[in-house]
Amino acid sequence: MVWLRRCTHYLFIVVVAVNSTLLTINSGDYIFYTDWAWTSFVVFSIANTLMTVVGAVYYITFTGVPGTGAYYGLIMQVYTWVAKVAWMALGYPVDFIVHPMWIPSCMLLDLAYWATKKNKHSLIFFGGVLVGMSMPLFNMVQLMLIADPLETAFKYPRPTLPPYMTPIEPQVGKFYNSPVALGAGAGSVLSVTFAALGCKLNTWTYRWMAAWSKWD
Amino acid sequence: MKMVDKKILAVAVGAIFVLGIYGPNLANIVQTAEAHGVQAQLQSRFIQITDEALTRQSLSTGETLVLTGTLVSLVERDQRGWISLFSESTNSGNRWEIMARDPPGVVITIPGNSITDYAITAKALEPGVYHVHTQLNVANVGPGLGPGSTVVVEGEPIIKPIPWAMLAYQSVMIAAAYVVTFATRPWKVI
């Protein structure tokens, strides 16, 4: 039974890590080198929020240990450094590469689980809302710490940029005045659903493992 | 399920497979790039890039290259746009830093039916053999490219400054996660 549990665990880690790395690479292009910057940030935030919350909730309920969220976020975030090397190899300006920031949101999930004495529904509701609200905030901090994206887009032609995707002018306010607000609003609603999905995936995993345990 | 039904099913699945494999190729034959709103030719039909010239065709990294030419507006209305360079190379580098633009500024207004001289000064950041074009991006229209020329860049690649503040932010969070992870040791129960 232990081997099955561990295999399931590592399989999930690998799948989510690969997804998060690819998402990091692809979303970066659209955030910085197109005139869809703010819109892309919202899409990026929601995508990362949902991926994080479903994985972290799955893990937290898998182990039942508050702290698993931080463990999961740590693994995912360190994996994105692989993506960073890929970007550098493509010739992106080094002071312009960001990683998604997942750890603090995952810690909030741990906090919700721990503070409510491991109540699964509190994890879904409070944890889901906390991740959704915080993810765009922590990621926008990243954008403030690197070279100005629009200036960089004008100053450094992107190595593999299709000409039709070049920015014309700042698009702030075109889609919504604050990508953080929109990302947080949409993320906090959607991530509750995905937190519930994480719990459900956990239930299914245990049922699947229980079915396998007949062979023990 | 009757045998006839199974045959129909098999034929339908086969047809889907064949269409899936050859469909995109057929679509490529009949569709042109214009169908997607992307112009097929390099030159824009709104504002053309003429008399494109480069100050040099061989340089070292850190040295600058000046692309000059003329923008000929073929339309009545004023257009907004910005000039850059577009380069293709055999390596994945293609790194340039735009040092100056003339007309100055980033987004410029190109008056209708006008002739505007331009110059782009760019610093080479990575060695390689490039084909360098002027690229004019016109608002609501799209990009146009000049004919381009071959440029050879030699020397060591120039790396941009390291973003220490961002690295510190990442590192603090990663360190905090390590503390929590080793305090709780979730893997013990996996």
What pLDDT was estimated at residue B33? 46
Record: fold of B47-159:
Jelly Rolls (2.60.120)
Q: B48 or A21: whose pLDDT is higher?
A: B48
pLDDT of residue B92: 59
- DSSP for A166-203, please give it: ---S--TTTS-S-HHHHHHHHHHHHHHHHHHHHHHHHH
**Residue-level pLDDT at A152:** 74
- H-run or E-run covering B52: strand B47-54
Residue A176: pLDDT above 60? no
pLDDT at A162: 65
Question: Which ranges in chain A belong to alpha helices (H)?
Answer: 2-32, 37-63, 68-89, 103-115, 120-122, 128-145, 149-155, 179-212
pLDDT in tens, B14-39: 888 777 777 766 665 555 444 444 44
In this prediction, residue B40 has a pLDDT band, given cuts at 50, 70 and 90, of very low
* Closest Cβ–Cβ partner in B82, B173, B185 for A154: B82
CA gap A103, A126 in Å, rounded: 17
User: Min CA distance, B112 vs chain A (Å)?
Assistant: 18
Output the pLDDT for position B64: 96
Q: Do A156 and B97 lie within an 8 Å CB cutoff?
A: yes
CA atoms of B163 and A147, how far apart (whole Å): 8
Residues 123-142 of A with CB under 8 A from B: 141-142
Question: Is A78 within 8 Å of B183 when comparing Cβ atoms?
Answer: no
What residues in B contact A101, CB-CB < 8 Å? Answer: 169-170, 173
Residues from chain A that touch B36, judged by Cβ atoms under 8 A, are none
Terminal CA-CA length for chain A? 7
Residue A170 pLDDT grade (very low, low, confident, very high; cuts 50, 70, 90): very low
Which pairs count as long-range contacts for B96-100, CB under 8 Å and 24+ apart, including other chains? B96/A156, B96/A157, B96/B122, B96/B123, B96/B124, B96/B125, B97/A155, B97/A156, B97/B122, B97/B123, B97/B125, B98/A154, B98/A155, B98/A156, B98/A157, B98/B122, B99/B64, B99/B123
Q: What is the DSSP letter of A117?
A: T
CB distance A49 to A135 below 8 Å: yes
Q: Please check whether residue A25 is in contact with residue A83, taking contact to mean a CB–CB distance below 8 angstroms.
A: yes
Arithmetic mean of pLDDT over chain A: 81
Alpha-carbon gap: B37 to the closest alpha carbon of chain A (Å) = 10
| pLDDT tens per residue across span B137-182 | 888 888 888 989 999 999 998 877 788 888 899 999 999 999 999 9
Interface of A with B in 19-58 (CB under 8 A): none
Reported as a pLDDT band with limits 50, 70 and 90, residue A173 is very low
Does the structure show a pLDDT above 50 at A177? Answer: yes
pLDDT band at A26 (very low <50, low <70, confident <90, very high): low
CB < 8 Å to B84, chain A: 154, 157, 166
Of A63, A157, A169, the CB nearest to B96: A157
Q: What is the mean pLDDT of residues A112-124?
A: 96
Residue A11: how many other CB atoms lie within 10 Å? 10
Measured between CA atoms, the residue of chain B closest to residue A79 is B174
Q: Picking from A135-139, A149-153, B128-132, which range would have the lowest pLDDT averaged per residue?
A: A149-153
Q: What number of other Cβ atoms are within 10 A of residue B141's Cβ?
A: 18
Q: Is the ipTM of this complex over 0.90?
A: no
Tens-digit pLDDT profile for residues B55-113: 999 999 999 999 999 999 999 999 988 888 888 887 656 688 999 999 988 788 999 99
pLDDT attached to residue B71: 96
Give contacts of A91 with chain B, Cβ < 8 Å. 92-95, 126
In chain A, % of residues over pLDDT 90: 33
So what's the pLDDT on residue B182?
A: 96
Nearest to B189 among A63, A70, A155 (CB): A63
CB B53 within 8 A of CB B69: yes
* Rounded CA separation B151/B158 (Å): 17
Q: A24: closest CA among A82, A110, A90, A105? A: A82
A181 pLDDT higher than 70: yes
> Which member of A6, A78, A161 has the closest CB to residue B174?
A78
pLDDT at residue A1 is higher than 80: no
Per-residue pLDDT at A45 exceeds 70 = yes
Say whether pLDDT at A205 is over 70: yes
Nearest to A100 by CA among A57, A144, A136: A136
Looking at per-residue confidence, does B120 or A36 come out higher?
B120
